[in-house]
Amino acid sequence: MHISSEAPHGEKIAAMERRSQNGDPAVREEAGEDLRASLFLSIMKHTGDGAGDAQASTSRQPPRRSNPPVVQRVNALIDSIDQCHGSFEKKVTASDLKEQQNRLILRKGDVRDFVLPLLREEDNPTEGVAATVFNTEGEAFPMRFTLWSRKVYVLMSSWKRFVEANHLEESDILRIWAFRDGRTEGLCFLIHVRRSKAAGQSWTEKGTRSEGRKRVASKPRKAL
């Protein structure tokens, strides 16, 4: 992982500490299972299997289908997951939706915990790191993970396309996983979109009711 010599000393120490803490193979395995389980639900939604696939979900074996195409994409995505350190949440702001901005701001603490440990020595966020961002239907959006002015981490380049394709609105909640593709070794992000109902009511996944599935990994950070 590249850390600029001009970066604050405390930030360099924090990044190294986070990498050490997240080096536990058991933690990585648990985070990967949580990510795969979330994608299994997407497959079940598109195949109409529902509770009938409870056994498959429990055994962590995804239901394999030849159709529709979304199932093929999600299965391929599941098979590609390698290193993963868990998930965090981000609340969509008006600024994140501005067309001229074309970027998603990520909180520094979340980046330190879940993204920086995945970076390689040659990766330099200041210059931008190539990344592929997926939605839960397996659609891919090429982007760049970048540190702006040594202050703000963002996903940029094709963010506007992601906003339009997934019909994002202000106050939507994004659950985000960063991981390495085991085949290409590329940096990837999976973003699961949820939309809030009236204040005080439960969250719902866009277009469907939440299943209330118990999470496998540690609870994601509270959204901004």
Which residue do the tokens 């985070």 mark?
Answer: 31
pLDDT value at residue 177: 95
What CA–CA distance (Å, rounded) separates 125 from 1?
Answer: 9
Per-residue tens of pLDDT for the chain, all 224 residues: 444 444 443 354 344 444 444 556 666 666 667 677 767 666 666 555 443 343 444 444 554 444 478 888 888 888 888 889 889 999 999 999 999 999 999 999 999 999 999 999 999 999 999 999 999 999 999 999 999 987 899 999 999 999 999 999 999 999 999 999 999 999 999 999 998 663 334 444 454 333 333 333 445 555 65
pLDDT value at residue 149: 83
pLDDT value at residue 180: 95
Residue 143 near residue 133 (C-beta atoms within 8 A): yes
Task: Walk me through the domains of the chain, giving residue ranges and CATH numbers.
Answer: 9-205 (2.40.330.10)
Cβ partners under 8 Å of residue 222, min gap 6: 89
Task: Record the tokens describing residue 131, joined without a space.
Answer: 């990344």
